[in-house]
Structure 1
């Protein structure tokens, strides 16, 4: 009978190779798992993707300008601005195609920031303009604007008395559009005169609850009603 075969013991080099193979396989498995979880290629793809360009906004006139300068007017505009409707502001155009506005289709209103003013408070005057007709063009520049403040039949102040460098500005008013000036004009509660523009001691309007009325004209169209204010 033949002798039973004995298991041969491998050399240490064989065991080292087997351990190396197992270690490499383990490293490969860990690397695959990391790639699936981390997905490092996703960040590179995001960085390389160009962003879509923002849509350009149209250039429009954002407010109705007011008379540029008066000896009794403040050059500092109000901190906030507003339009009277969600419609866009009138669009300035060098070559407007619509016909000129018709006075009967326009409503012009004088607007003040308050109804009454304590001692030391100066009224802020603005214009509200509504187009009840078709699309039309109107000169809303300072050359065609005028505020007037009266007390009874006495005219106390005109914004045009000391106005300097008036300018034209033709805008397109859309049908049904309402706009309001964003930069109000300040009345310093003095009496204006073309001969006293540089005078720092112009007569001051009486207070104590005295009533005054503000009227306005723009583009040759005057407000049909005045805005009443009280000075204290």
Structure 2
């Protein structure tokens, strides 16, 4: 039998072949599309991740900066540490207190100026609060208390100082007595009773330590 006698494929077979070719083309196109699409997404993902991972990397940088650049505070000197540890508060056995007036006798218009003197009679330095919160002045005539510095005191302060062994210190600014009777109820009154001529005594205390003796003076 000759080749001309062979049957030709039917039109349906041609259509199936064309469909197969088209499907193959679509499959290749889809594969190419997937290959092209996936690298873009991974690229976008890689670009987004550094934004998240930079925070941890930035944290060591910022935390390391104070460690390397902050200056180290100087250590306290041995002398300062030793002084703070060894200097004790002043006691009555170390300190002597003296009441002082600027004169022994005052005329009718003169106002007595009152002071305190402190002496450290111990063998070691000591610390003492000599501020106005611890100072007390009192003037008496016999058993009659004429004036107290604490009756009308409006401002006070603390001042802790170191007093060396054998050192004597005095009030920086004397306290002036107006020669009138004091009372917590008459601080703002201008007509308070005036002290009469006679003998008066000044007693003082500071830091809870009283003067052993009073200071005698006269008003004329």
TM-score range, shorter chain: 0.5 to 0.7
Q: Which of these residues, 186, 203, 210, is aligned with residue 222 of structure 1?
A: 210
Partner of 1:55: none
More helix by share: 2
Partner of 2:9: none
Equivalent pair of 1:139/1:171 in contact (CA under 8 Å): yes
Q: Which of these residues, 126, 130, 133, is aligned with residue 143 of structure 1?
A: 133
Give the TM-score taking structure 1 as reference length: 0.57
Structure 2 SS opposite 1:103 = coil
Q: Is 1:123 matched up with 2:123?
A: no
Partner of 1:156: 146
State the shift of 1:182 in Å. 2.4
Query: Structure 2 regions of 5+ residues with no counterpart?
Result: 1-82
State the shift of 1:96 in Å. 4.9
Partner of 2:99: 110
Counterpart-to-counterpart distance in 1, 2:133 and 2:151: 12
Partner of 1:177: 167
Counterpart-to-counterpart distance in 2, 1:117 and 1:222: 25
Counterpart-to-counterpart distance in 2, 1:216 and 1:102: 16
1:3-152 to structure 2, matched below 5 A, reads 96-97=84-85, 98-133=87-122, 134-152=124-142
1:70-105: CA deviations, max 9, x gaps? xxxxxxxxxxxxxxxxxxxxxxxxx95510001121
State the shift of 1:167 in Å. 1.2
Higher relative contact order, chain-length normalized (CA < 8 Å, sep 6+): 1
- Runs of 4+ aligned structure 1 residues displaced above 6 Å come to none
- Bigger Rg over Cα: 2
1:123-149: CA deviations, max 9, x gaps? 000111000112100000110000000
Partner of 2:65: none
Structure-2 change in CA distance of 1:212 and 1:96 (3 Å): farther
1:10-56: CA deviations, max 9, x gaps? xxxxxxxxxxxxxxxxxxxxxxxxxxxxxxxxxxxxxxxxxxxxxxx
Q: Is 1:212 matched up with 2:200?
A: yes
Structure 1 SS opposite 2:173 = coil
Q: Which moved more, 1:95-104 or 1:125-134?
A: 95-104
